[in-house]
Amino acid sequence: MGTPSTLAEWRDRIDDLDRQLVALLSQRARCAQAIGELKRSTDMPIYEPNREKLIFSNVRAANPGPLADSDLQQIYERIIDVMRSIQKDKIIASPASTPDSAPASPRPSTEPRS
């Protein structure tokens, strides 16, 4: 695909990039869900400030521009907030697997009906 030259072509390019971003964010969200499950099973906290600092550092180091590092960090702060929420939801929705927490399966009645 060549360089877009019309407004419609630029918008088509942006639409394509948006679809790619959505696919990547969905992959990241699935990773966050898996991490939430691991954190739940190991009693780790959802919020890990040192990990977030490392993410911001990695993002700034990978930034070729034209976004300013501060703008990119703001975008990632929001992404991380959403991913943290996904982890929290995963932990709340998935109690630790214990015999007491397993759902009871209904058993058919063996008593005759009246």
- pLDDT tier at 94 (50, 70, 90 boundaries)? low
The token pair at 109 is 């009645």
> Any idea where the domains of the chain sit in the sequence?
13-93
Residue 43 Cα to chain centre, angstroms: 19
The arithmetic mean of pLDDT across residues 3-13, rounded, is 96
Per CATH, which fold does 13-93 belong to?
Chorismate Mutase Domain, subunit A (1.20.59)
Distance between CA 78 and CA 9 in Å, rounded? 29
Whole-prediction pTM: 0.73
User: CA distances (Å), 17 to each of 21, 38, 41, 76, in order?
Assistant: 6, 32, 36, 17
Question: Given the structure tokens 């990039």, which residue do they identify?
Answer: 17
Distance between CA 85 and CA 42 in Å, rounded? 18
Amino acid at residue number 57: S
